[in-house]
Structure 1
Amino acid sequence: MARANQRPVVKLRSTAGTGATYVTRKNRQNDPDRLVLRKYDPVAGKHVLFREER
């Protein structure tokens, strides 16, 4: 039986300091550390790293 908190909703904040955010889900079993994704920052106008904030 799957636990409800296996795939929690996490907020990703831009490392460019623009305040842009994305919201996604992650699997805690596969990614126990903080998630880091390279995504498009519409404020900066380019792709930057987005880190999971807690």
Structure 2
Amino acid sequence: MARSNARPVVRLKSTAGTGVTYVTRKNRLNDPGRLVLRKYDPVAGAHVPFREER
């Protein structure tokens, strides 16, 4: 099966400035802008917003 263009792989980078990243998929049709998710940053030791990199 081919990968769909509507669900690309995106990299989420911590806004705390620690350099921690997560890799996930997003639905481009439902979220056309940059994705922001609140996830755990093990270096900061807290939940912080992670913003999509381009």
TM-score over 0.5 for the alignment? yes
Task: Identify the residue that residue 34 of structure 2 maps to in structure 1.
Answer: 34
| Alpha-carbon offset, residue 4 of structure 1 | 2.2
Q: Sequence identity of aligned pairs in percent?
A: 83
**Across the two proteins, how many residue pairs are aligned to each other?**
52
Higher helix share: 1
TM-score for the superposition, normalised by structure 1 = 0.93
Matched residue of 2:5: which SS?
helix
Measure, in 2, the Cα distance between the counterparts of 1:24 and 1:4: 14
Backbone CA RMSD of aligned residues: 1.1
Deviation per residue, 1:5-51 (Å, 9 max, x gap) = 11000000000000000000000000000000000000100000000
Structure 1 segments (4+ residues) deviating >6 Å = none
Measure, in 2, the Cα distance between the counterparts of 1:37 and 1:17: 15
Measure, in 1, the Cα distance between the counterparts of 2:53 and 2:37: 12
Task: Identify the residue that residue 20 of structure 2 maps to in structure 1.
Answer: 20
TM-score for the superposition, normalised by structure 2 = 0.93
Contiguous gaps of at least 5 residues in structure 2: none
